[in-house]
Amino acid sequence: MGRLDGKQAASLAAWLRSHATAARGKATAHKRRRVDARNALFMASLSAARYNKDLKIFYDRLIKNGKRKLQALIAVARKLLVILNAKLRDAALKPA
């Protein structure tokens, strides 16, 4: 983190897809990798979708455009990862 571009940071959330597929009943085998990180990021996305002004607008727009609530939360989680990566990158660039 901090040295990735936006797409690479968002690709770290590929394992979040198991939440969305499990909600539709299509997941066959759920791998228990990175459970703590996934749960923390998922809970952060719940809070962000409710209380962060920009992410709430993003979440509401996705719902309005026909996305399921869980799919919209996963999109918020991916966006949180990109934001975290950018903040770490910017902090590393600042002189001490």
Residue ranges per domain, the chain? 6-27+34-93
**How far is CA 79 from each of CA 25, 26, 59, 93, 95, rounded to the nearest angstrom?**
25, 24, 11, 21, 27
Going by pLDDT thresholds of 50, 70 and 90, the confidence category of residue 32 is low
Who wins on pLDDT, 37 or 91? 91
Q: How many CB atoms lie within 10 A of CB 94?
A: 6
For the chain, give the number of residues: 96
Residue 64 has pLDDT above 60, yes or no: yes
Going by pLDDT thresholds of 50, 70 and 90, the confidence category of residue 28 is very low
Query: Model-level pTM?
Result: 0.70
Q: How many CB atoms lie within 10 A of CB 48?
A: 21
Residue 21 has pLDDT above 70, yes or no: no
Around 25, how many Cα atoms within 13 Å sit in the side-chain half-sphere?
0
pLDDT at site 54? 95
